Chains A and B, each alone.
Chain A
């Protein structure tokens, strides 16, 4: 099946610094990827849709200048949390669409736990 990787799996950073999270589709091309945030014991909250070669589409309430998304290739999307603060600590998950799939299913990465101290 389609595999999506995320790196790093865990990251700790100091308040005010930036951190980059990578999302890769390993065995398929993904023109569309999604970035989610998940708080403990809650569902996934869509942050943005990342489209290869174009600007990301952000959900209402998500600061585009804080959460920079770049989708420069068909297999890689990155999420950069800029000037991180403790309230940005969360679990971030990416997913990718395999457009050769007959269904609209998303394949998920294993997630990245971000802790801002």
Chain B
């Protein structure tokens, strides 16, 4: 069975600083995608970034980047130059093998301190 673990229920960061959110997972697949979703107070789920497992290069989207360690099954999200609008729940997600269904982590609540 697939698992996704986010070991940090809550994190905080000073505005303009950098923060890293952790995610580990387990899958028997060799090729897969990984996602980070953001859920702000509005509760709209927003895709932040995705990573293809067969790509060695870490994905980057503006201030958001990942540190993908396939052998360690680790997929952390780094947010640089944190902004007040980054305050949200962040969920790490892994698709089921051969399916579109997602396994979500329990989430990390990020607070940004002005």
Q: Which residues of A contact B (CB under 8 A)?
A: 32, 34, 38, 41-44, 46, 49, 91, 93, 95, 97, 103-108, 110-111
Contacts and interface: CB of A to CB of B under 8 A. Distances in A.
B44 A105 contact: no
B35 interface: yes
25 contacts: A32-B100, A34-B100, A34-B101, A38-B43, A42-B106, A42-B107, A43-B105, A44-B91, A44-B104, A49-B101, A93-B43, A103-B33, A103-B50, A103-B52, A104-B33, A104-B95, A105-B35, A105-B47, A105-B50, A106-B100, A107-B47, A108-B44, A108-B45, A108-B46, A111-B44
B47 A43 contact: no
B: contact size bracket: 20 to 34
A107 B33 CA distance: 15
